[in-house]
Structure 1
Amino acid sequence: MKKKRICVLATGGTIASRPTPNGLMPALTGEELLAAVPEFKVACDVDCVQLLQLDSTNVQPEHWILMARAVAERRVQYDAFVITHGTDTMAYSAAALSAMLENIDRPVVFTGSQLPAGVPGTDAEQNLLTAFHAALGGRAGVYIAFGGKIIFGDDARKLCTMQLAAFASINRPLAGRFTGGHLTWLAETQTPTGAFRLHDQLDTRVAVLKIVPGLQPKMLELFVDAGCCAIILEGYGLGGIPDQESPANFLPAFTYAKEHGCRLVCTTQCTYDGVDMGCYEIGVRAQQLGVESGGRCTTEALLAKLMIELAEQGS
């Protein structure tokens, strides 16, 4: 039986870090990381590409483009991809590639660790094993493999800064679990609905504004004046943003944004369940002034989708 070909795209992160006088910094290559899971050299043919060597705090949209293009350029050569990545922005990168790699017909699995590879108690080896099993499982789509969970890439969020089970699936069941050395798929296979398409143009003029007590509507107008073409509003609960009953009435600011061609999309500060702007009068008024509902999408997923939509509308 022919062995599957797996391409590992290494980008740095905690999993690849080593101590320095100024704290942890990425240092290990992808090849060095793979030494932690030598069994997969037997189970499949593995090639490694060192795309980046970054603390994921420094990952930007141009790096998403680099990752997406790397997958697209090698898609026919390999059966699956594993991307090693820092945890802090992994959910953003996975959400971005979920949108950028439309109808991807291969598994693309992100993983990383809370503790560097090789240190006592590290979760690096287990997460790498989880990622490789998910990659070899053959289920098309973009995923995060972490803490024994397989999470759809556009529904993941990092909830913990230190706990090893750092990621959760938001508003969607897990794709799978890896326990006792065995992978169990919990969701139906994602079947591509059309031909593969790479979306590698992003318009980064998208901002996120969290609504908090005391925030003045002028801040929204300042974002518009700064050149934002879309703003994600993290409202309260089901999508609440102060209206004319509040000293901080955002309704005129919504009109200002609309007049200047800036899209407003509302999501929630709550972790789960999304927004329903038709539930309360306060949400209905916002929609009447052009604020769009983000539904059950995460902020991470909305950010990537808006960047793609803006870029393609402007092309």
Structure 2
Amino acid sequence: MEAILKIGVINTGGTISCVGNPLAPMTSVEFKAACQTHLDPILLQAFPDLQLDYVTDLAFPESATGMLDSTNLQPSDWCLIARAILERYDSVDGWIVLHGTDTMDFSGTALSMLLARFAADGTVLAELSKPVILTGSQVPLFHSPAPGTISGMSFNTDAFQNVCGAIAAAQAGIPGVCVFFDSLLMRGSRVVKADANQFRGFSSPNFPPIGQYGITLGLNPDLMPQPPVSPATSLDDQTARAGVLEQLDAIAADIDKAPVITLGAFPARYNPAEATALLAEMIRACLGKGISGLVLQSYGEGNFPSGNAREAAKGAIYQALDEANRAGVVIVDNTQVLQGAVDYNAYAAGAWLPKIGALNPVDMTVMASIAKLTVLIAARRKNGWTLDDVKYLMQTPLVGEMTDISRLDSRSNAVLLPGQSLTTFNGSGSLINDTKTGPQLRDSSGAVLWSMLEAPDKAALPGRLHIMGSGNLAFHSRNSELLWQSESGKDDCAAARLRLTQAADGCSVTLSIEDYGKSRTLWTKTVSL
């Protein structure tokens, strides 16, 4: 007898479960009945060992039907969805969350954050061991010829295909939050809504899809979310799960108290002589409302108008952002461009932003930044984090939401190839695998602070720098000859990372090798700036 695969289905509302004209969500009980009558018999043809467990007791208090068009979703609603998963975690093998498309790209990151717990240095304390697949549709799943009646599934809908793909993805057991839409399986923390009218409603502009569903589901193993680093960090562990639920209670209590908002750059009036600017007025107005976080949607590679094209520090916008920073507002400098990353060293028009405390989110989407920062700030009291801890975590990849520019990880990106580099988030220091000299630590001006090879043999270069699961860091020649190693490997180390950080006083940078499965440091190299 084959084992039964149990998948929990949480319907939150959205087009996929809407009927009528104009479209409005069915109740969860109505949706369950329609699925069991019309959908489940078809699904069992392809998935004979499948058992769907429809959740019917999740209700959003702001909705008359209990279901919610995601246009009206609030941060507190993320907590309700996360709780529905955590409280039933032992009862199913994975989850499908049916969600409206308007804010699915926010929820992908929010749920990833809420279903995990982190230490102040980014070490994972608890994380998903089962799949959570978000999906929805551009066309409703069911046809309703008259109020209160369902005649069957709708014609020419993407809803059925998206449900099939989500089930296939959940069946694969991929740990973490993903979004399935129009044949593509994507990291939940990487998606953006890209089209309001076509079936391909979502894209993942800065991270490739991790799978595609055609006749079968094809997966890219190099892009998969990693499983828990140890049984103790898995949500299968009751202690780990209890800690996440306790954190969720605190987040739910605080998530509406200190809002995070976004402000986009646009051509607007400013007067350098009078130090006035419309954007400055908008920033101060938001500051007066008690915001805790400000996500900028800057131009290009992170450029934001200062209010003074000649001397940024004299600009009204610069001064307003500086006031916000000194008031404890966390400022994140995203780009409004769909694809690409923030780089403060590219243009003088963006180089001033670190001076007012702006954080570099690299290639994180605006939606991911808003959701991540909202959750981090709401979790601050419970976890005893300082404001600097929140800022550090905001610039640290936690749930696959951004490219890791400052670390190598033995389980995912273990190799620094010739010409590649690690860098601190403000660009003050870099570890560059130079093709002629080998790995070197350099400051922002390019001055060499430390060389891994004292007398490099040019005939042996370029080479590859590799962090191993044992915790040993090794540099090999073009012919795989060992030229340098840290000799920090441990027999009981299974997951290690190399990290480049800047000291809080800005006077030094440190390379460190960490066994993050056991939360211990194996090797360090610190140099002064």
Fold match, TM over 0.5?
yes
- Deviant stretches of 4+, over 4 Å: 246-249
- Tell me, in whole angstroms, the C-alpha distance in 1 between the residues paired with 2:75 and 2:375: 11
Aligned to 2:267: 213
Return the match for 1:141 from 176, 179, 186: 176
User: Cα offset for 1:189?
Assistant: 4.7
Q: How big is each residue's C-alpha offset from its partner over 1:248-279, in whole Å with a ceiling of 9 and x where there is no partner?
A: 74211111102211111110110011211232
1:111 correspondence with 2:135: yes
Match for 1:166: what amino acid?
A: G
Aligned to 1:227: 290
Pick closer, same or farther for the CA change 1:37–1:166 going to 2, 3 Å. Answer: farther
Max Rg structure:
2
1:83 correspondence with 2:97: yes
1:302 correspondence with 2:369: yes
Aligned to 1:167: 202
Pick closer, same or farther for the CA change 1:188–1:144 going to 2, 3 Å. Answer: closer
Aligned to 2:187: 152
Q: Percent identity?
A: 31
Alignment coverage as a number of residue pairs: 312
Aligned to 2:309: 245
Gaps of 5+ in 2: 60-66, 117-126, 142-152, 236-240, 269-277, 383-529
Aligned to 1:14: 15
Q: How big is each residue's C-alpha offset from its partner over 1:89-119, in whole Å with a ceiling of 9 and x where there is no partner?
A: 1111111101111211000001111001132
Q: Which has the higher contact order (CA 8 A, sep 6+)?
A: 1
Residues 217 and 248 in structure 1, CA contact (< 8 A), matched pair in contact too: no
Aligned to 2:238: none
Which range is displaced more, 186-195 or 275-284?
A: 186-195
Return the match for 2:219 from 185, 202, 209: 185
- Tell me, in whole angstroms, the C-alpha distance in 2 between the residues paired with 1:37 and 1:301: 33
Gaps of 5+ in 1: none
- Tell me, in whole angstroms, the C-alpha distance in 1 between the residues paired with 2:104 and 2:157: 18
* Aligned-residue CA RMSD (Å): 1.8
Residues 240 and 282 in structure 1, CA contact (< 8 A), matched pair in contact too: yes
Residues 37 and 125 in structure 1, CA contact (< 8 A), matched pair in contact too: no
- Tell me, in whole angstroms, the C-alpha distance in 2 between the residues paired with 1:101 and 1:91: 16
Match for 1:183: what amino acid?
A: L
Residues 216 and 248 in structure 1, CA contact (< 8 A), matched pair in contact too: no
Q: TM-score under structure 2 normalisation?
A: 0.57
User: Cα offset for 1:282?
Assistant: 2.4
**Partner secondary structure for residue 233 of structure 1:** strand
Match for 1:258: what amino acid?
A: N
Residues 114 and 123 in structure 1, CA contact (< 8 A), matched pair in contact too: yes
User: Cα offset for 1:138?
Assistant: 0.8
User: Cα offset for 1:289?
Assistant: 1.4
Residues 37 and 128 in structure 1, CA contact (< 8 A), matched pair in contact too: no
**Partner secondary structure for residue 217 of structure 1:** helix
Q: How big is each residue's C-alpha offset from its partner over 1:201-225, in whole Å with a ceiling of 9 and x where there is no partner?
A: 1534100111111142110111111
- Tell me, in whole angstroms, the C-alpha distance in 1 between the residues paired with 2:234 and 2:16: 34
Which range is displaced more, 218-227 or 247-256?
A: 247-256
Q: TM-score under structure 1 normalisation?
A: 0.93
Which range is displaced more, 252-261 or 121-130?
A: 252-261
- Tell me, in whole angstroms, the C-alpha distance in 2 between the residues paired with 1:31 and 1:151: 29
Residues 4 and 49 in structure 2, CA contact (< 8 A), matched pair in contact too: yes
Q: How big is each residue's C-alpha offset from its partner over 1:283-306, in whole Å with a ceiling of 9 and x where there is no partner?
A: 221111111112111112111211
Pick closer, same or farther for the CA change 1:83–1:31 going to 2, 3 Å. Answer: farther
Match for 1:38: what amino acid?
A: P
Aligned to 2:481: none
Residues 111 and 128 in structure 1, CA contact (< 8 A), matched pair in contact too: yes
Return the match for 1:30 from 2, 15, 32: 32
User: Cα offset for 1:43?
Assistant: 2.6
Residues 95 and 153 in structure 1, CA contact (< 8 A), matched pair in contact too: yes
User: Cα offset for 1:37?
Assistant: 4.3
